[in-house]
Amino acid sequence: MHIDAKTVKALREKTGAGMMDCKKALQEAGGDEEKAVDILREKGLSAAARRSGRAANQGIVDSYIHLGGKIGVLVEVNCETDFVARNDEFKEFVRNICLQVAATNPAYLKKEDVPENILEKERQIIKTQALNEGKPEKVIEKIIEGRLDKFYRENCLMEQAFVKDEDITITELLTGLIARIGENIVVRRFSRFEVGEGLDSDTGSSCCCG
């Protein structure tokens, strides 16, 4: 199947994948751009999985100040080599993570970081809500599972929709970068500070570590 250069370029701009990868994905998808995006994401996830065991002890710490000094963010992202740490695309990714944290104020880095007592409290709240809505007992567990997924998407950085492109999550943004750069890359931790936040409880920042 012939795929014209304009279509390939459009997919590249949308996904950041290489030209040949985009062309192959479009051919595999029969010219369907959305299917091609899914194919590229799946390949990105595979590439990320292969590299996830590699040591990532280089990287950078970046900062972002918003609203005239009202919100501040610190983010550490690790990679395998200092060469990649100086790469412009890597730096752009780290900056985007800073912007994401500033905009969405996630409570946790990833799902695994949510304490069990918090999850149990959420489960009980969801169960009570579902019962009050008149939902039958037999579907309660599915409702809990679905609403917990929403909780993760709202509160865990890696599960959130990317603020610059809500069609992808931060995890998908990361795996695409890993596929293109060829190194293991890890969002390790972040801290977000907002003027006046937490004064009632004597705390002034939120912090997550991976």
Q: Which residue has the tokens 């390790």?
A: 188
90 plus 191 within the same structural domain: yes
Region at 154 (left for phi over 0; alpha for psi -120 to 50; beta for the rest):
alpha
Q: Are 97 and 163 in contact (CB under 8 A)?
A: no
24 plus 86 within the same structural domain: no
Q: Are 159 and 170 in contact (CB under 8 A)?
A: yes
106 plus 182 within the same structural domain: yes
46 plus 138 within the same structural domain: no
Report the number of distinct structural domains present in the chain. Answer: 3
In degrees rounded to 5, what are phi and psi of residue 206? -115, 140
| CATH classification at residue 160 | 3.30.479.20
105 plus 20 within the same structural domain: no
Name residues whose C-beta falls within 8 Å of residue 62's C-beta, 6 or more positions apart in sequence: 74, 75, 77, 91, 94, 95, 97, 98
- Three-state SS for 168? strand
pTM of the shown model: 0.74
CA distance readout (Å), 196 to 67, 101, 114, 176: 14, 17, 25, 37
- Return per-residue pLDDT of the chain as tens, 210 residues: 788 888 888 887 777 677 788 888 999 999 998 898 888 877 776 667 777 777 788 999 999 998 789 999 999 999 999 999 999 999 999 999 999 999 999 999 999 999 999 999 999 999 999 888 888 888 988 999 999 999 999 999 999 999 999 988 999 899 889 888 889 999 999 999 999 887 765 444 455 555
78 plus 164 within the same structural domain: yes
102 plus 23 within the same structural domain: no
163 plus 196 within the same structural domain: yes
102 plus 126 within the same structural domain: no
| CATH classification at residue 18 | 1.10.8.10
- Show the CA angle centred on residue 48, arms to residues 42 and 151, nearest 5°: 75
Q: Can you state the percent helix, strand and coil of the chain, rounding each to 5?
A: 60, 20, 25
129 plus 105 within the same structural domain: no
Q: Are 153 and 163 in contact (CB under 8 A)?
A: no
CA distance readout (Å), 46 to 33, 40, 49, 134: 20, 10, 5, 42
Q: Give me the half-sphere count of Cα atoms (radius 13 Å) on the Cβ side of residue 36.
A: 28
- Domain limits for position 17: 5-51
| CATH classification at residue 142 | 1.10.286.20
